[in-house]
Amino acid sequence: MATSDLDATPRIDLQICEVDPKRYGSSVAVRAHRADRRERTGGKPGQRPNFTGQREHYLADNVDEFRAIRGSHHRLSQANFWSRFFSGYHARFNWQLPLDRDPSPDDVWKKDQELTPEEMEEKSKVIAELETKLKSSLQNMDNARTRKERNPWTPLFACINRISTAVPPRQLSEWQLYMNQHAESIQAVFLERWPTSGLKKDHALAFRGKIAREMLEDEPDDLDSLCPDISPVIVERSA
C-alpha cells in the first residue's frame, strides 16, 4: 500500500515546545527592582491595614513615644509604655466594637459583670489578639516612617506636593486697587468722618473700604486712566 506525502511528513513532539516558566521568568535582579519601586505602606503588600479611622490616628499619636523606647534595654520603660498604650486604646475602643467602625455616642456595650463566663473567655481572646495586632501595626507604622526619613528625595517631594496643592492666588478687586493708589485721599475722608461714625476701632479697616468704594463710584468708569501706574497686585487667598 502506497504511503501518501502527508503520512511521510515528520511529526513534531509538542512536549519539547512547552516553555519552562522557571527558565524564562524574571531574574532576581528584576524582581528586586520591582519590589523597590512598590510604595510601602508599613504592612504586607496588598494587605489592608488592621486599624483605620480613629484607631489609625491613635496609633499615629503614639509612634514617636514608641520609637523612643524601641530597642531600649530598659524593660520597665517598655512595660510602662505598653501599659499606657493599651489602657488608652481600650478606654477609647470597646473590645466589642468591630474593627471597621469608629465609636459612636449611641454605642451601648455590656459591662463586665453582665458578661457570661463564655463571653468573658471570648473577651480575653479578643483582647489578646487585638494587642498583638496593635503591636505589629505600630511597628509597621514606625518602619514606614523610618523608610521615608531615609529617602533623600522626601523633602523635595514634600515641597512639590505643597506647591501643587496650594490655593491659587487672586487679584485685588478694583476698589482695593483704588484704595492702594489713593491712600492719602481716602485717609483724609476717613479722618473727617470717623469721629462721627460711632464705630469701634476694629471696624476702621472696613470703614476705609466703604469710603474707597464710594469714592470709586464717583470716578470715571475707566480705572486704568485713573491709576496708570498700577500693576496687577496679587495677594494670597486667605484660608
Report the chain's mean pLDDT, rounded to a whole number: 74
Residue 86 inside a domain? The answer is yes
The parent domain of residue 82 ranges over: 54-153
Residue 190 inside a domain? The answer is yes
b/e map 15-35, b = 16+ CB within 10 Å: eeeeeeeeeeeeeeeeeeeee
What average pLDDT does range 22-33 have in this prediction? Answer: 54
Q: Is the pLDDT of residue 180 over 60?
A: yes
What average pLDDT does range 132-136 have in this prediction? Answer: 90
81 and 121 within one domain? yes
197 and 147 within one domain? no
Residue 119 inside a domain? The answer is yes
Number of Cα atoms under 13 Å in the Cβ half of residue 170: 8
The per-residue pLDDT for 168 is 63
141 and 110 within one domain? yes
Cβ–Cβ under 8 Å, residues 152 and 217: no
Burial level of 233, CB count in 10 A (0-12/13-18/19+)? Answer: exposed
pTM above 0.75, yes or no: no
95 and 67 within one domain? yes
Residue 49 inside a domain? The answer is no
Residue 166 inside a domain? The answer is no
Give pLDDT tens digits for 213-236: 888 888 776 555 545 444 444 344
135 and 81 within one domain? yes
Cell output for 119: 463571653
Q: Which of 153, 186, 205 is the last residue of a domain?
A: 153
Residue 188 inside a domain? The answer is yes
198 and 128 within one domain? no
117 and 198 within one domain? no
Displacement of CA 88 from its chain's centroid (Å): 23
More confident of the two residues 76 and 24: 76
Q: Which of 125, 153, 181 is the last residue of a domain?
A: 153
pLDDT grade, residue 44 (50/70/90)? low
149 and 66 within one domain? yes
**Domains identified in the chain, total number:** 2
Residue 239 inside a domain? The answer is no
208 and 179 within one domain? yes
134 and 79 within one domain? yes
What average pLDDT does range 21-40 have in this prediction? Answer: 52
pLDDT grade, residue 110 (50/70/90)? confident
Q: Is the pLDDT of residue 118 over 60?
A: yes
The per-residue pLDDT for 106 is 82
Window from 161-165, 192-196, 219-223 with minimum mean pLDDT = 219-223
Cell output for 178: 483704588
Cβ–Cβ under 8 Å, residues 94 and 101: no
Q: How many angstroms separate the CA atoms of 87 and 231, rounded?
A: 61
83 and 134 within one domain? yes
115 and 58 within one domain? yes
b/e map 190-206, b = 16+ CB within 10 Å: beeebeeeeeeeeeeee
Helices (H), the chain: 5-8, 21-24, 28-37, 54-61, 63-69, 75-92, 117-150, 154-165, 174-181, 183-193, 204-217, 223-226
Q: Which residues contact 62 (CB under 8 A, 6 or more apart)?
A: 85, 88, 138
pLDDT grade, residue 24 (50/70/90)? very low
Residue 219 inside a domain? The answer is yes
The per-residue pLDDT for 231 is 43
The per-residue pLDDT for 125 is 92
